[in-house]
Amino acid sequence: MSGGIARGRLAEERKAWRKNHPHGFVARPETGADGALNLMVWQCTLPGKVGTDWEGGFYPVAIHFSEDYPSKPPKCKFPQGFFHPNVYPSGTVCLSILNEDSVRPSALVKDHV
């Protein structure tokens, strides 16, 4: 799949996200020094789930999309040292909990956030 398709899809998803997204969640493409948006890397903030030790917190995660998106899922990375049982000390999500073969090209950014 060409990167143009991935970027086009992400531009549409950004537009949809700006109109309607879950309360408390933030997801936006990175902005370069020149002010240009990088649709392939999004900086996100996730609210802690109610009823868990993470409740009340807001947690940063970067989502990296490949040129093969949406056929291949994005990679998510928390800051180094982030503590969670499914996140390595490097910030990488434990891949054994992810099933890349089950990704649906119809999944949207908000399904990954």
Whole-number Å distance between alpha carbons of 1 and 55: 39
Q: Residue 14: what pLDDT? A: 96
The residues annotated as belonging to the active site are 94
pLDDT tens per residue, range 93-112 = 886 655 556 556 666 666 65
Q: Give the mean pLDDT of 45-52.
A: 94
Task: Name the residue ranges covered by the structural domains of the chain.
Answer: 5-111
Mean pLDDT over residues 10-25, rounded? 95
Query: CATH homologous superfamily of domain 5-111?
Result: Ubiquitin Conjugating Enzyme (3.10.110.10)
From the centroid of its chain, how far is CA 95? 15
| Per-residue confidence band for 2, with pLDDT thresholds at 50, 70 and 90 | low
Nearest to 30 by CA among 72, 77, 92, 87: 77
Q: What integer pLDDT is reported at residue 94 of this predicted model? A: 80
